[in-house]
Amino acid sequence: MTEPQVPRFAGWRAIFRGHALPTAGLVGMGLFLALALLAPAIAPQNPYDQMQLNIMDGLLPPMTQTMDGRIAYLGTDSLGRDILSAVLYGLRISLLVAVVAVAAGITAGVLLGLVSALRGGWIDALVMRAVDLTVSFPGVLLAIMLLAIFGTGVDKVIVALAIGIWAQTARVVRAVALTEMQRDYIAAARLGGISEWRIMLHFLLPNSITPVLVLLPMAISGAIVAEATLSFLGVGVPITQPSLGLLIANGNEYLLSGKWWISMIPGLVLVAMVLCVNVVADRMRDHANPFLRAKD
Amino acid sequence: MTPLLQIDDLTIAYRLADGSGFQAIRDYSLTMAPGEIVGIVGQSGAGKSTIGKAVLGLMGENATIEAGRIRLSGHDITRARDVEAIRGRKVGYIYQNPMTALNPVLTIGEQLLESIVTHTGRRGAAARAYAVELLEQAEVPQAAERLSKYPHQLSGGLCQRIVFAIAICARPALLIADEPTTALDVTVQKAVLATLERMARKEGIGILLITHDMGVVAQMCDRVQVLRRGELVEEGATRQLLLHPAAAYTRQLMAAIPPMDRRLDRFDVIERQADSPGRERGIAYLRTARDGFAPSGSALLSVRGLSKTYPAPPRSGQDAFVALKDVSFDVRAGEVLGIVGESGSGKSTIGRCILGLQQPDAGAAITFRGRSLQPGRRDRAALARSLQCIFQDPYSSLNPRMSAAVNMTYALVAHGLVAARDARRLAGDLLEVVQLPRDAAGKMPHAFSGGERQRIGIARALAFRPELIFCDEPTSALDVTVQAEVLNLMKDLREMLGLTLVFVSHDLAVVRQMCDRVLVMSKGEIVEAGAADEVLLRPRHAYTRDLLASMPRMAET
């Protein structure tokens, strides 16, 4: 007689056991994270430090020797900057922007979605119309518009991306929370005289959060790509803090003159990282969907 | 004569998520003659539905037939590949809930014609005429007009009759009816079953009726099988088995059925009841509030002129829906007041208005111990200690992300009524009061069965030490034996703690067992009120008589 329920968020082990590709994706995600965190320690040079650059090393292909006798494993760009170092530092910026933007966007979205479901009335109407307005622009266009207003900068890119993310989260959380509100344990909590704030945080939030956890990795890969797009278009992060997207843009003009490595290497790293996140995201989505799960 | 359905030593196993196997059916055998109506009864989880699904090859992908044979009219269909040739054509299936069995976006006619065209080869006008004939056979009034209707425009009883019509369209030799009336109201259940029986007898269709309700079995079946945990316990002619059950399990099952003609002190079911220090401590805790309770017999809760109207959506052209119309009654301290009626009669709405979960229409006066309960302007924390609720659905009444202990004591701790460090001990004590083991306190709700969850729900309501508990169909989602246990528990608690209960139910026999006074509700109004014995044994109002007459009863066999 029990209704089939959306399965609880099981441990990582249960989700990934027996799935080779998603497990590899998870390992890859960990690797990229480690590289980004350890960049200052492992990068051959600090790509931001003008004093370490030698213009004579400009445009070296991968695996050639620089003037000071080191090997530039992944080549250098027109200023003589080591691509490996630039990519490691770029990874930091890309991940920082994506993770902070997603965290901010999802937190705001979850809270607004819960408040919307719990209070209803004009608050609900206001939040949902704001959601409609936000999602009616293509994400990148919205971000470009916001950046045109705010100006560029890492913090502004984060805000612009977060604004694109909160709306979808708010909509999903509101929908789940509204069905949860119909359940008797919420009525029981109200009969117990528990305050609305506690009902929201201790009753509604833990029971509405599962779909958001499933969306989380997908939102991160989306944010990574969106940030790269913005930076490539020149409205993203400033040139002093180059992300992967900006590195791709920098090499763009050399792409047709045979200097492929300047653009391609950050591009490949970006693709690999997004791929890792996506296979993990797919696995988590499948795990959360009981209809797909019955077949595997 | 070849038996219609012959099942020999069937064993079915489910593969579980953790890789282990679970035998849902063990060495089960059944022989059914053509035209015979055989009932399979048992508690939920006994494997009744698995048998019905195995015949049609409708088991889930994680189920396998490990041993045994299923033969339909002599043909082995155990692992038949051409199940399409059997389903619908030779074996019809009737689902528990007609509202979900029918496709909501297609009309009745489209769904019926689709089956007719697929299974009988009739087309066009001939198919249409046959559809009307089938509906008439299923005793659907104004059959021709119904064809253009959608399922949501019809009542549950009518929808189930349409499911019957679809099931018999290919003139199958066998119908499998899986709890065909469980989702329906008592008042329509009897008529729907009678239709099913007439159809089957007339066409010589055999029915395998799967049910948990002994009353349904008594009304319809020639023979009965009792199933327990996948094994056949007892089998026999209906009358013989119901009147003289041989197996202890069958006797226990029968003892759990609330009788209509007399009031029992307790149901005769096996229970674990050991007094322990924790249980005594829990009872002492619950009793401490008793001194402050209103003296027995005085009016505790008084409801005057309670109405509730749901306005129609703007510009929809519909009328506003009146859920409650000028309802007035008193609840006296120490009594159990029953509220009975069909679904939609407004029974639960009364509770929601009293508890403040819904706003009644203006003009209603609800007073508790002389104090007016103003909607919206209540001291929630104080009220929580006077009025509590036990909910219908044990699967939605506990917060799935909190342990049993936290579910029970969260609000008490939030109000500072219990110190956080004492809450765990109190939770353990209360669990023992409701006869669950103490160490269940740390488990999450999904680890409990429906009956156990309902006990936790009862403990949560008791924890506030309220004067009045509103019980909203507290046992309707439970099996009959579990129901008997929970009702026994509620009887004991009421005696020990002097509780006042408002007990809402659609089951008259349960109300008879539990209540001192009864209100009978129909379409939002109280049609009859009085002492339970008086109302249920000598009803004055025609509606109450209808309600009583429509109850399936075993005495008739």
Q: Which residue of chain B comes nearest to A1, CA vs CA?
A: B44
CB contact under 8 A, B357 and A190: yes
B5-255 to CATH, choices 3.40.50.300, 3.40.50.620, 3.40.50.280, 3.90.480.20: 3.40.50.300
Q: Which residue of chain B comes nearest to A206, CA vs CA?
A: B401
Taking the C-alpha atoms of residue B348 and residue B166, their distance in angstroms, rounded to an integer, is 34
Q: What is the pLDDT of residue A185?
A: 94
Mean pLDDT of chain B: 87
Residue B467, helix vs strand vs coil: coil
Question: What percentage of residues in chain A have a pLDDT greater than 70?
Answer: 93
pLDDT at A257 over 60: yes
Q: What is the pLDDT of residue B31?
A: 92
CA-nearest of B501, B498, B539 to B292 is B498
Q: Which CATH architecture has domain B277-549?
A: 3-Layer(aba) Sandwich (3.40)
Taking the C-alpha atoms of residue B288 and residue B156, their distance in angstroms, rounded to an integer, is 47
CA-nearest of B258, B141, B189 to B546 is B189
Give the pLDDT band of residue A289 (cuts 50, 70, 90): low
Tokens of A282: 């797919």
Residue A1 in any domain: the answer is: no
Taking the C-alpha atoms of residue B205 and residue B4, their distance in angstroms, rounded to an integer, is 10
Residue B268 class from Cβ within 10 Å (0-12 exposed, 13-18 middle, 19+ buried)?
middle
pLDDT at B109 over 50: yes
Express each pLDDT in B455-492 by its tens digit. 999 999 999 999 899 999 898 888 888 899 899 999 98
Dihedral sign (CA B77, B78, B81, B87): positive
Residue A234 in any domain: the answer is: yes
Q: What is the pLDDT of residue B272?
A: 59
Q: What is the pLDDT of residue A117?
A: 94
Express each pLDDT in A194-239 by its tens digit. 888 999 999 999 999 888 888 888 899 999 999 989 988 888 888 8
A73-104 in b/e form (b: 16+ CB < 10 A) is ebbbbeebbbbbbbbbbbbbbbbbbbbbbbbb
The three state secondary structure string of B294-311 is CCCCCEEEEEEEEEEEEC
Q: What is the pLDDT of residue A4?
A: 38
In terms of DSSP bridges, do strands B63-72 and B5-15 run parallel, antiparallel, or are they unpaired?
Answer: antiparallel
CB contact under 8 A, B61 and A295: yes
Q: What is the pLDDT of residue A239?
A: 81
Residue B414, helix vs strand vs coil: helix
Residue A4 in any domain: the answer is: no
ipTM computed for the complex: 0.79
Express each pLDDT in B302-345 by its tens digit. 999 999 988 877 777 777 888 899 999 999 998 999 999 887 78
pLDDT at A5 over 50: no
CB contact under 8 A, A192 and B446: no
Residue A27 in any domain: the answer is: yes
Mean pLDDT of chain A: 85
CA-nearest of B158, B119, B118, B112 to B139 is B158
CB B220 within 8 A of CB B36: no
Residues of chain B positioned with their CB less than 8 A from the CB of A192: 384, 410-412, 414, 464
pLDDT at B99 over 90: no
Express each pLDDT in B31-51 by its tens digit. 999 989 999 998 877 888 889
Q: What is the pLDDT of residue B521?
A: 92
CB B160 within 8 A of CB B181: yes
Angle between helices A154-181 and A139-150 (to 10 degrees): 130
- To test the contact with chain A by mutation, choose from B179, B399, B482 the residue with the greatest count of A C-beta atoms within 10 A, namely B399
CB contact under 8 A, B384 and A188: no
Rounded to a whole number of angstroms, the distance from the CA of A71 to the nearest CA of chain B is 52
Q: What is the pLDDT of residue A76?
A: 84
Which among A1, A185, A190 is the nearest to B396, CB-wise?
Answer: A185
CB contact under 8 A, A1 and B477: yes
Residues of chain A positioned with their CB less than 8 A from the CB of B62: 294
- To test the contact with chain A by mutation, choose from B396, B412, B415 the residue with the greatest count of A C-beta atoms within 10 A, namely B396
Residue A175 in any domain: the answer is: yes
pLDDT at B224 over 70: yes
CB contact under 8 A, A188 and B457: yes
Express each pLDDT in A128-155 by its tens digit. 999 999 989 888 888 898 898 888 888 9
Q: What is the pLDDT of residue B557?
A: 40
In chain A, how many domains are there?
1
Domain that holds residue A168: 21-293
Q: What is the pLDDT of residue B152?
A: 86
Q: Which residue of chain A comes nearest to B385, CA vs CA?
A: A192
Find the CATH number of the domain harbouring A102: 1.10.3720.10
Residues of CATH 3.40.50.300 domain(s) within chain B? 5-255, 277-549
CB contact under 8 A, A207 and B393: no
Which among A202, A207, A295 is the nearest to B400, CB-wise?
Answer: A207
Q: Can you say how many angstroms the Cα of residue B156 is from the centroid of all Cα atoms in its chain?
A: 15
